[in-house]
Amino acid sequence: MSARAVRPKLPFLGVAGRHNRVPSPYPWLMPVILVMGLFYLYPVIDVFRYAFTDLTLLGGEGHYTLSTFANVLTRPELLQILWVTFVFTAGSVIGQQVIGLAMALVVVRSEKRHLFGTTILRTTALIAWVVPGIAGGIIWKMLFNEAPFGGLNSLLRLMGMAPVQWLSDPDVVMWSVVLSNVWRGTAFSMVVMYAALKAIDPSLYEAAEVDGASARQKLFFVTLPQLRPAILVNMILITIQTLNTFDAIISLTGGGPGRATEVLSLYTFNVVFRNYDLAAGSVLSILMLVISLTLALIYAGFLPKDDKA
Amino acid sequence: MKLSTRDRFGDFLSYVFMALMFVFFSWPLIWLLSMALRTRKEVFLGVARLIPKYPTLDNFTAVLTSSQFPVYLINALKLSCFSAVGCLIIAAPASYAFSRFDFKGKGAWMLGILAFQMISPLVIMVPLYRYMARLGLIDSHFGTTMVYIALGVPMVTWLLKGFMDGIPKSLDEAALIDGCNRFSVFVRIILPLSTPGVASAFIITVIAGWSQFLVPFLLITKDSLVPIGVGIFQYAGTQNDSSIQILAAACLISVVPAIIAFLALQRLILSAMTAGAVKG
């Protein structure tokens, strides 16, 4: 480390001793550059080209036009799609963050008090996190089954409560979808919050103790302020994850009833696979890209500074 | 003894909360298992038969002896394992360079790679399909694997870089003085020391590959090449309430490999997951 730091930069000397030469990173990066370039970057660039055509899957090369852009962005359903996306994302992110934080706080406290069950709880939540999106949707569809034998309705009946139309009532269905997404996603927030809690300097608590702070005061004046950066970063990450979620929705509701749960990602999928409208799909893709990259840029601002040049 | 009462009350609340959360997270999986073990008749008895009176493994047999499901499972295994190996081969040298070399634009390169992580494959599906069709890589496990690799490389690069940062640089320098070149330092010293990082990256990529839906849905049209994610989606679309127990068994079979892979390396994966988010 120190040897490299003091070495003067004399590139014209070329080899300043075989072992001390600054190695070029590019041969090492080449495989990544090639694979990412060929199978990811090139298609990303191509999306922009397609967005300016009127291409469909039904054939032909299409013509270059600006009308697709105007057409897609003025579609009457787009506003509703964006609203549905917003509600789904906000509901999922807030749910995952709040429950994840609560679980992390309780697990940390319980570990300190040597209570039983913290590992079981953590592992169970993480198992839900590992369940693939499509399978998650299928599992929740069984739970939400509105027949008397459905996984939740039969439970409600057992407790003497009225059954709920989880998936067919347009006013309820969004919350059902959010619930299933919170089930699958919360473990991530819990783990991040847990690690962040463990990273808080214990001397802060000792100082608060000396000052006679109550448990509640410690939470609000020590723990939460210390967690702020981790919470922000976590919320950005889960927002991006949620925006890109569509497999769990497609196998749960398929976007219905009507368009009640058709989020932007699912809408894009449907425009391409149901309507075969490649150009419109590309415009929507760009919309998603812009949203994700904006969030990614905000995220980048929170990364440790020493990783930046 | 006021404090102790309060502590005990806190313990009580903690237990209540943990129990509630445990029920929330486990209930869907318990329900899935219960459905998968039922006969057709018992399915209609709902929660009253949470533990079936006449449990049966017939549903699992039906799934595993069907003509498609074993094929879906093998396809998924092939795609996810090959792509995980490919990811490691491609990402590891870059991680080494990011961990050990100082060069201009290093931060920009790393952020650029990370940015891809944020781009959903949905964004590229249209051009990807046409592009792969032109290359003749539709209905090809090779083509699909390459896209899986491109999807996994950013995360694996970052993860391995973080792991290699924890290996002292003095080891590299000692080996360089002993006459190793950079490449043999990387292969003989750093890679073997990175085994835990490599293992967790491998498992995370396998799980991600196992869960893939969009990419194979897009690039594979032949039923005999389809992995489980797409297979079970299409199967679910053809089912109704009268065969829900078979669907449950199929779903369980598709989920269990990912869960086992995860449990095997839980601790490593957890530390890898949090590395990026907490340092900030």
Nearest to B94 among A31, A44, A309 (CB): A31
Portion of chain B with pLDDT greater than 70, in percent: 96
Which of A195-199, A294-298, B217-221 shows the lowest per-residue confidence on average (mean pLDDT)?
A294-298
Q: Which helix (H) or strand (E) holds A121?
A: helix A118-130
Q: Do both B148 and B24 map to the same domain?
A: no
Task: Say how far apart CA B144 and CA A279 lie, in whole Å.
Answer: 23
Which residue of chain B has the CA closest to A184?
Answer: B25
Final residue belonging to a domain, choices B31, B56, B81: B56
Tokens of A258: 């009507």
Note whether B143 and B199 are same-domain residues.
Answer: yes
**Percent of chain B predicted with pLDDT > 90:** 31
> A6 falls in which pLDDT band (50, 70, 90)?
very low
CA distance A169 to A175: 10
Residues of B in contact with A235 (CB under 8 A): none
Compute the average pLDDT of residues A124-142.
91
- Mean pLDDT on A154-161: 84
Query: For B126-165, what is each residue's pLDDT tens digit?
Result: 888 888 888 888 899 999 999 999 999 998 998 898 888 8
Q: Which of A31, A36, A113 sits opposite B93 (nearest CB)?
A: A31
DSSP symbol at A275 = S
Arithmetic mean of pLDDT over chain B = 86
pLDDT of A304 higher than 70? no
Domain's final residue, options B39, B56, B73:
B56
Mean pLDDT over residues A32-41, rounded?
Answer: 89
Cβ <8 Å between A195 and B274: yes
Pick the CATH number of A77-307 from 1.10.10.10, 3.90.226.30, 1.10.3720.10, 3.40.1190.20: 1.10.3720.10
Contact: B102, A145; criterion CB under 8 Å: no
Same domain, yes or no, for B41 and B135?
no
Quote the pLDDT of residue B276.
53
Nearest-Cα distance to chain A for B91, in Å, is: 6
The pLDDT score that the predictor gives to residue A257 is 87
Nearest chain A residue to B217, by CA: A273
Distance from CA of A67 to the nearest CA of B (A): 18
Kindly state whether residues B73 and B203 are assigned to the same domain: yes
Chain mean position to CA A215: 32
pLDDT of B268 over the 90 cut: no
Asked if residue B193 and residue B71 are part of one domain, the reply reads yes
The token pair at B57 is 């493994």
Query: Which residues of chain B have a CB within 8 Å of the CB of A194?
Result: 274
Residue B143 sits in the same domain as residue B243: yes
Do B223 and B176 share a domain, yes or no?
Answer: yes
Contacts A269 to B, Cβ<8 Å: 122, 125, 214
A59: which strand partners?
A56
Confidence at residue B264, expressed as pLDDT on a 0 to 100 scale: 84
| Residue for token pair 């927002």 | A239
Binding-face residues of A in 248-287 toward B, CB within 8 A: 250-251, 265, 268-269, 272, 278, 281-282, 285-286
Is residue B65 domain-shared with residue B50, that is, in the same domain? Answer: no
Q: What is the pLDDT of residues B164-192, one digit of tens each?
A: 888 888 888 888 888 888 888 888 888 99
CA distance B221 to B231: 11
Rounded to two decimals, the ipTM of the complex is: 0.87
**Cβ pair B115:A293 closer than 8 A:** yes
Amino acid identity for residue B190 in this structure: I
Q: Does A224 touch chain B (CB under 8 A)?
A: no
How many domains does chain B divide into? 2
Give the closest-approach CA distance of A90 to chain B in angstroms. 18
The alpha-carbon gap from A149 to the nearest alpha carbon of chain B, in Å, equals: 4
CB contact under 8 A, A44 and B123: yes
Is the CB of residue A191 less than 8 Å away from at least one CB of chain B?
yes
| Rounded distance between C-alpha atoms, residue A134 and residue A269, angstroms | 15
Residue whose pair of structure tokens reads 């995952």 in the numeric block: A96
Min distance B177 CA to chain A CA atoms (Å): 7
Asked if the C-beta of A156 comes within 8 angstroms of chain B's C-beta atoms, the answer is: no
Q: How confident is the model at residue A7 (pLDDT cuts 50, 70, 90)?
A: very low
Q: Which domain holds residue B154?
A: 61-278
Write down the domain spans for chain A. Answer: 77-307
> Do residues B27 and B69 share a domain?
no
Determine the distance in angstroms separating the CA of B264 from the nearest CA of chain A, rounded to an integer.
12
Verify that B81 and B185 share a domain, yes or no.
yes
Q: Using the 8-state DSSP alphabet, how is residue A170 labeled?
A: T
Q: What is the CATH number of the domain that holds B81?
A: 1.10.3720.10
Cα B22 to chain centroid distance, Å, stands at 23
Contacts of A158 in chain B (CB under 8 A): 47-48
B255–A307 CB contact, under 8 Å: no
